[in-house]
Amino acid sequence: MKTRELRKTARKVAKARGHQLTKFTHLMGAGWDLASHAQCEKCGFEVSVYPSPAPNGIDIAGNAVAVNCGTPA
């Protein structure tokens, strides 16, 4: 899946859990888009997207897509 689509999905899931994500930042390496990260402005939980995860990895990960927002950051 493309990075843009992964970020859109991550943002949608995080929003459904009550999170308000910052803008995604990117980690680039040798011409490859390795990862994008964002953080909830309210509680600090993070989400990362990996467009090319390892064979046993996942493409969207982090507390912001797994746990509801607890607010105090």
pLDDT in tens, 16-63: 999 999 999 987 665 556 789 999 999 999 999 998 888 898 999 999
pLDDT, residue 27, reads 76
- Report the pLDDT value the prediction gives residue 53, as an integer from 0 to 100: 87
pLDDT at residue 33, rounded to an integer = 62
- The C-alpha atoms of residue 32 and residue 65 are separated, in whole angstroms, by 24
Q: What is the pTM of this model?
A: 0.85
pLDDT at 16: 97
Distance CA 36, CA 23 (A): 10
pLDDT (mean) for 11-15: 97
Separation CA 44–CA 40 (nearest Å): 5
